[in-house]
């Protein structure tokens, strides 16, 4: 009874305080904070996280994609197909690949429903429209969209300025890289309306041969605000045309010193196809309502829709001499009689693979905050419809049935996915220095794939049939405790459970008898933080225990996506150290180090053997691929009046490209340093704000590879003379390169 009376009194207090507060005292900025508060974590929440604010984002905005911005936070490794950080880029956190990392913008999920990844190339220059972002490592707090199996990234787009403004941001540098951004805002119109927008263009020749990119994007937003209500509409879109560089550089070519060779588009005789390109258009729409119901209760609700459509085109060279024939029947094409009068079952051809999808849904959160209690009730429901199909555009010397070509369709399938979740979070101050955290989430997935896949099934002598119809019900509980020892020191601990369903490739690329199952992760985190204004230090210990983890095998499909298989037991354990110090009023240093042990238990490797068929190697406990034992970062920053300088360094330990722990199939450790300068000219009177900046990447010209894979591995020879062969591919990154930047604000 006492609890009911206390709750009633608290609610009356909320409404009374709200009624006494004048509506116009509420700032739009306060309401815009409501948009992401339910999926973010605060100082007293026992979750491991890092924040990047607007000033940090602006200082690093030279045109590179968001994965390179994330390297400012612990346990992150970024990579780029083109070697420059522009175009196709990716990242891993704690060794976990990107399709296990949840990404949201304004609480709206961005992960592709089928691949689970985020293709940053489809959202070029999104960094110019961000207000801030938060990286939660481990399972993190409940959020919308894909399951978080290594981290979650919560991005917030920029506040709508209340004053009119215009801005130009331009960069130019090595590899003919150019970025142009224009931003414009109206300020307040008729007291209640505000609008602003951005258009951007990014282009580059790339470090790798022919790895050119041409990227266009925009963002526009408008808002209506009155008293305690904010309605905001956001649309952003990107159009990309990127030459393929996803095949990597073969090891034997890399060892000759040719670090820029690109095998994509080969037509034989060292000729390459001009239109070996990826072409995609993606547009996002968000309509959100932020309503302050009382001083204690906020409502956030949003509808969203994403339209994506595009294709990639490639030349398939009939390389029979190297065991890579292009078999016509695998494209539903008939053999033909060639010029020599022989029946030809193989030939060069040009194909396109198309994707057309719609992703839409709604999210909500109801947030209550007063004194000792923070509660969030939230969730959402999203639907995905994706069509996949392939066309043959041209066949060399083809003289078969004209009904088959051109624009001959050889496969088509459809994926449909419904993803719904609801969560309840509670952060309660039991005492002044002690907080208890609880988080319960239920997630439902219904996923189906039907039609024909793009792969030939020799068992039935036709394209692979797809008939997937799976449902998942996941319960994801989380709990933790935060204790403030004194105003300088605090400790926290948490345990969280998460589940993740297999993605499309896990189903389509599974073996004949292998059926992927959902993964489960139990994440234990224990941390300590100290901060006194001048010096701070953090220590976080984590143990991530996986059941049926889908781990990287080292194999890839035709567009360079890594394939995975379930393993019963595996874990990631590590220590994350962070520190910062203000050495002088102008000079500061920050750094982080991750020491980890990442293992699969009871691992068995299967390798093709040219003599016996398949070799089975029991290897016991092995390191997980692409999970280095050490990642370290450092940043020295100097600021004096309008001048800025920063030296960023990162060390990444050896990475294995498969799960055998073999040095023969690994990526060497590397240490890279980047130097940044900037100067802000004083803004006087009507003279605009001007900032000039210079970024020198890889100042010591380190020759390194940030990613790679095992294209094919095999045994050949007899038992007495048995050798293992490896077809290894690497992604070299650019040596010393420079970007200059100017920002003009009116």
- pLDDT per residue as tens digits for the range 615-631: 889 999 999 999 999 99
First vs last C-alpha separation in the chain: 60
Is the pLDDT at 490 greater than 60, yes or no?
yes
Tell me which of 10-19, 113-122, 346-355, 435-444 is least confident: 10-19
Q: What is the predicted pLDDT for the residue at 371?
A: 83
pLDDT digits (tens, 9 = 90+) for 208-243: 999 999 999 999 999 999 989 999 999 999 999 999
Query: If pLDDT is split at 50, 70 and 90, which confidence band does 337 have?
Result: confident
For residues 437 and 427, the answer to whether their CB atoms sit within 8 Å is: yes
Strands annotated E in 63-149: 76-80, 89-93, 96-97, 101-105, 108-109, 130-137
Strands annotated E in 557-703: 562-582, 587-609, 613-623, 630-640, 643-652, 655-656, 666-667, 670-681, 689-697
| Mean pLDDT within 679-697 | 90
Bridge partners for 21 per DSSP: none
pLDDT digits (tens, 9 = 90+) for 276-317: 999 999 999 999 999 999 989 999 999 999 999 999 999 999
Cβ burial of 469 (10 Å; 0-12, 13-18, 19+) is exposed
Residue closest to 316 by CA, chosen among 268, 380, 254: 268
Average pLDDT over all residues of the chain: 91
| Residue labelled with tokens 């403030």 | 484
The strand pair at 151-157 and 101-105 is best described as parallel
Q: What is the predicted pLDDT for the residue at 332?
A: 92
Cβ of 597: how many Cβ atoms within 10 Å? 14
Residues whose CB falls within 8 Å of the CB of residue 377, separated by 6 or more in sequence, listed in order:
365, 366, 422, 423, 424
The C-alpha atoms of residue 69 and residue 64 are separated, in whole angstroms, by 8
| Mean pLDDT within 657-670 | 96
Query: If pLDDT is split at 50, 70 and 90, which confidence band does 560 have?
Result: very low
Q: What is the predicted pLDDT for the residue at 198?
A: 97
Cβ burial of 228 (10 Å; 0-12, 13-18, 19+) is buried
Q: What is the predicted pLDDT for the residue at 403?
A: 53
Strand order of the sheet with strand 49-52? Answer: 49-52, 130-137, 151-157, 101-105, 108-109
**Helix or strand holding residue 439 (H, E):** strand 434-457
Query: If pLDDT is split at 50, 70 and 90, which confidence band does 6 have?
Result: very low
| Residue labelled with tokens 């690497």 | 730
Three-state SS at 484: strand
The C-alpha atoms of residue 141 and residue 138 are separated, in whole angstroms, by 9
Residues whose CB falls within 8 Å of the CB of residue 205, separated by 6 or more in sequence, listed in order:
175, 176, 177, 211, 212
Q: What is the predicted pLDDT for the residue at 610?
A: 86
Q: What is the predicted pLDDT for the residue at 416?
A: 98
For residues 491 and 485, the answer to whether their CB atoms sit within 8 Å is: yes
Three-state SS at 687: coil
The number of domains in the chain is 1
| Mean pLDDT within 194-207 | 97
The C-alpha atoms of residue 102 and residue 150 are separated, in whole angstroms, by 9
Is the pLDDT at 60 greater than 70, yes or no?
yes
Bridge partners for 592 per DSSP: 578, 633
Q: What is the predicted pLDDT for the residue at 16?
A: 41
Is the pLDDT at 5 greater than 60, yes or no?
no
| Mean pLDDT within 454-460 | 86
386 vs 160 pLDDT, higher one:
386
pLDDT digits (tens, 9 = 90+) for 583-598: 999 999 999 999 999 9
Of the chain, the percentage scoring pLDDT greater than 90 comes to 77
Residues whose CB falls within 8 Å of the CB of residue 359, separated by 6 or more in sequence, listed in order:
113, 304, 305, 306, 308, 382, 383, 384
Three-state SS at 399: coil
Q: What is the predicted pLDDT for the residue at 13?
A: 42
Q: What is the predicted pLDDT for the residue at 608?
A: 84
Of the chain, the percentage scoring pLDDT greater than 70 comes to 92
| Mean pLDDT within 596-612 | 90
Bridge partners for 497 per DSSP: 522
Give Cα 667 distance to the centre of its chain.
Answer: 21
Q: What is the predicted pLDDT for the residue at 687?
A: 79
For residues 541 and 527, the answer to whether their CB atoms sit within 8 Å is: yes
The strand pair at 723-732 and 249-250 is best described as antiparallel
The C-alpha atoms of residue 496 and residue 438 are separated, in whole angstroms, by 10
Tell me which of 33-37, 357-361, 631-635, 672-676 is least confident: 33-37
Buried (b) or exposed (e) across 330-341, using 16+ Cβ within 10 A? bbbbeebeeeee
Q: What is the predicted pLDDT for the residue at 39?
A: 78
Tell me which of 55-59, 273-277, 532-536, 614-618 is least confident: 614-618
For residues 358 and 384, the answer to whether their CB atoms sit within 8 Å is: yes
The strand pair at 630-640 and 297-316 is best described as unpaired
The C-alpha atoms of residue 519 and residue 545 are separated, in whole angstroms, by 11
Bridge partners for 277 per DSSP: 243
Residues whose CB falls within 8 Å of the CB of residue 579, separated by 6 or more in sequence, listed in order:
535, 536, 537, 538, 590, 591, 592
Q: What is the predicted pLDDT for the residue at 1?
A: 45
Helices and strands: H and E segment counts in the chain: 6, 38
Is the N-terminal amide bond of 604 cis, ω within 30° of 0? no
Q: What is the predicted pLDDT for the residue at 32?
A: 65
For residues 292 and 300, the answer to whether their CB atoms sit within 8 Å is: no
Q: What is the predicted pLDDT for the residue at 22?
A: 39
Q: What is the predicted pLDDT for the residue at 694?
A: 98
Can you give the residue range of the structural domain that contains 708? 2-745
For residues 605 and 613, the answer to whether their CB atoms sit within 8 Å is: no
Is the pLDDT at 467 greater than 90, yes or no?
yes
pLDDT digits (tens, 9 = 90+) for 73-124: 999 999 999 999 999 999 999 999 999 999 999 999 999 999 999 999 999 9
Query: If pLDDT is split at 50, 70 and 90, which confidence band does 10 have?
Result: very low
Residue closest to 126 by CA, chosen among 162, 168, 156: 156
For residues 125 and 63, the answer to whether their CB atoms sit within 8 Å is: yes
For residues 113 and 419, the answer to whether their CB atoms sit within 8 Å is: yes
The C-alpha atoms of residue 453 and residue 59 are separated, in whole angstroms, by 45
Is the pLDDT at 636 greater than 50, yes or no?
yes
Give Cα 572 distance to the centre of its chain.
Answer: 20
**CATH number of the CATH domain containing 420:** 2.40.170.20
Provide Rg for the chain, Cα atoms.
27
């Amino acid at each position: 009874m006492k609890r009911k009376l206390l709750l009633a009194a608290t609610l009356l207090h909320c409404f009374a305080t709200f009624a006494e507060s004048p509506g116009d005292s509420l700032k739009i900025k306060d309401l815009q904070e409501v948009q992401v508060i339910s999926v973010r974590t605060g100082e007293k929440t026992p979750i491991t996280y890092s924040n990047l604010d607007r000033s940090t984002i602006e200082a690093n905005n030279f045109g590179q994609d968001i994965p390179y911005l994330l390297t400012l936070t612990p346990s992150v490794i970024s990579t780029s197909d083109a070697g420059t950080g522009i175009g196709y880029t990716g990242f891993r956190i704690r060794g976990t690949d990107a399709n296990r990392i949840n990404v949201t913008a304004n609480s709206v999920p961005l992960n592709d429903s089928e691949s689970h990844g985020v293709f940053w190339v489809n959202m070029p220059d999104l960094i110019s429209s961000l207000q801030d972002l938060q990286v939660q490592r481990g399972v993190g707090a409940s959020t919308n969209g894909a399951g978080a199996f290594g981290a979650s990234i919560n991005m917030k787009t920029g506040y709508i300025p209340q004053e009119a403004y215009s801005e130009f941001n331009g960069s130019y540098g090595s590899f003919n890289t150019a970025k142009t951004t224009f931003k414009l805002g109206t300020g307040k119109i008729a007291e209640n309306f505000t609008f602003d927008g951005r258009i951007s263009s990014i282009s580059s020749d790339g470090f790798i041969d022919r790895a050119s990119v041409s990227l266009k994007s925009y963002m526009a937003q408008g808002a209506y605000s009155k008293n305690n209500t904010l309605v905001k509409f956001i649309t952003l879109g990107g159009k990309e045309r990127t030459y393929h560089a996803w095949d990597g550089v073969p090891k034997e070519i890399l060892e000759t010193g040719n670090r820029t060779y690109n095998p994509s588009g080969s037509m034989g005789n060292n000729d390459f196809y001009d239109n070996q390109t990826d072409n995609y258009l993606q547009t996002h729409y968000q309509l959100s309502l932020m309503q302050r119901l009382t001083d204690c209760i906020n409502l956030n609700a949003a509808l969203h829709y994403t339209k994506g459509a595009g294709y990639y085109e490639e030349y398939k060279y009939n390389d029979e001499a190297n065991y890579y024939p292009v078999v016509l029947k695998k494209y539903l094409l008939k053999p033909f009689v060639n010029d020599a009068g022989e029946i030809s079952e193989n030939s060069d051809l040009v194909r396109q693979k198309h994707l057309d999808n719609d992703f839409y849904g709604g999210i909500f959160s109801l947030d209550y905050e007063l004194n000792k209690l923070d509660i969030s009730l939230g969730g959402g429901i999203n639907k995905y419809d994706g069509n996949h199909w392939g066309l043959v555009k041209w066949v060399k010397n083809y003289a078969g049935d004209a009904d088959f070509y051109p624009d001959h369709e050889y496969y088509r399938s459809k994926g449909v996915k419904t993803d719904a979740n609801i969560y309840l979070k509670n952060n309660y101050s039991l005492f002044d220095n002690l907080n208890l955290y609880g988080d319960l989430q239920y997630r439902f997935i219904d996923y189906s794939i039907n039609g024909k896949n793009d792969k030939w099934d020799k068992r039935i002598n036709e394209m692979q049939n797809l008939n997937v119809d799976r449902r998942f019900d996941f319960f994801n509980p989380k709990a933790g405790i935060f204790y403030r020892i004194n105003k300088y020191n605090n400790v926290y601990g948490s345990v969280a459970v998460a589940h993740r369903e297999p993605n499309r490739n896990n189903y389509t690329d599974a073996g004949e008898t292998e059926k992927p199952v959902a993964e489960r992760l139990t994440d234990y985190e224990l941390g300590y933080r100290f901060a006194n204004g001048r010096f701070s230090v953090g220590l976080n210990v984590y143990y991530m225990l996986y059941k049926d983890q889908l781990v990287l095998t080292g194999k890839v499909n035709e567009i360079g996506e890594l394939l995975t298989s379930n393993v019963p037991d595996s874990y990631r354990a590590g220590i994350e150290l962070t520190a910062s110090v203000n050495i002088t009023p102008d000079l500061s240093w920050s750094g982080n180090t991750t020491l980890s042990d990442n293992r699969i238990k009871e691992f068995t490797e299967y390798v093709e053997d040219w003599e016996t068929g398949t070799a089975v190697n029991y290897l016991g406990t092995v390191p997980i691929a692409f999970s280095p034992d050490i990642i370290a970062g450092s940043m020295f920053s100097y600021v004096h009046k309008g001048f800025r300088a920063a030296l960023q360094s990162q060390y990444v330990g050896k990475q294995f490209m498969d799960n055998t722990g073999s040095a023969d199939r690994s990526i060497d450790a590397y240490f890279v340093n980047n130097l940044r300068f900037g100067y802000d000219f004083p803004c006087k009177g009507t003279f605009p704000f001007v900032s000039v900046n210079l970024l020198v990447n890889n100042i010591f010209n380190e020759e390194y590879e940030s990613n790679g894979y095992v294209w094919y591995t095999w045994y050949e020879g007899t038992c007495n003379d048995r050798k293992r062969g490896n077809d290894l591919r690497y992604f070299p990154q650019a040596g010393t390169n420079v970007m200059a930047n100017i920002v003009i604000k009116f």
